[in-house]
Amino acid sequence: MEGGIPLIGDKFPELEVQTTHGPMKLPKVFAGKWFVLFSHPADFTPVCTTEFVAFQKRYDKFQELNCELIGLSIDQVFSHIKWVEWIKDNLNEEIKFPIIADDTGKVASTLGLIHPGKGTNTVRAVFIVDPQGVVRAMLYYPQELGRNMDEILRMVRGLQVSDKEGVAIPANWPNNELLGDEVIIPPATDEETARKRLQEYTCYDWWFCHKKLS
């Protein structure tokens, strides 16, 4: 970890945070679970509102993957609470996951979420963290572009499949243009294994073999 900003493969930093569900210790509160921490520029803004509704509509799907959600912005907890109430009253969507109130900016600074050209607003960042508290993926978006929640779901599922099966995940999986929903066997690192791969799996070549999930 350089300059306090976690990178892929780093342990997620230990943080004490205030949320709409009360104080929490990260990543301890999600021990044994995956979690997605996502930051948004500000409460009561249109793009962020569409994102929170989209995350909530998929919350059950994340939980089916043993994955929790937690939001963050540099707003006071009172603002978060009123915004969540507004979403429920006006859009008929109850936000069930916690939101970090980072009004001091300490958490955002630790995670590298403050864009120097955007004042105190946090960027749209996503951290995917595994049950061991290791950062497995990071995404950064500009303020004007809302996130694709189905892609974040796909990433969590793909990382879990990769861990369990020891495989790599192709582009656009599970709807890859070449392999459909199949997964990729890691390339062989010696000649004998390369020959066996051609017999054991369906291959385009010794370095490009694939299989159906068991």
Q: What's the pLDDT tens digit per position in 80-106?
A: 999 999 999 999 999 999 999 998 888
Strand partners, 16: 25
The answer on pLDDT for 33 being more than 80 is yes
The answer on pLDDT for 188 being more than 70 is yes
Q: What's the pLDDT tens digit per position in 41-71?
A: 889 999 999 999 999 999 999 999 999 999 9
* DSSP 8-state assignment for residue 133: S
Please report the pLDDT score of residue 19 as a whole number: 96
- 157 and 65 in contact (C-beta within 8 Å)? yes
| Total number of residues shown for the chain | 214
The answer on pLDDT for 2 being more than 60 is no
The answer on pLDDT for 14 being more than 50 is yes
Mean pLDDT of 185-208: 93
CB atoms within 10 A of CB 127: 22
The tokens describing 207, both together, are 């370095």
What the chain holds in terms of domains, given with CATH numbers, is 15-146 (3.40.30.10), 166-214 (3.30.1020.10)
Q: What's the pLDDT tens digit per position in 122-180?
A: 788 999 999 999 999 999 998 889 999 999 999 999 999 999 999 999 999 999 999 99
Residues assigned a catalytic role: 48
Confidence label for 109 from pLDDT (cuts 50, 70 and 90): confident
Please report the pLDDT score of residue 92 as a whole number: 97
Amino acid identity of residue 182, one-letter, is E
Residue with token string 């995940």: 169
* DSSP 8-state assignment for residue 74: S
CA dihedral angle for residue 119, residue 120, residue 124, residue 127, rounded to 10 degrees:
130
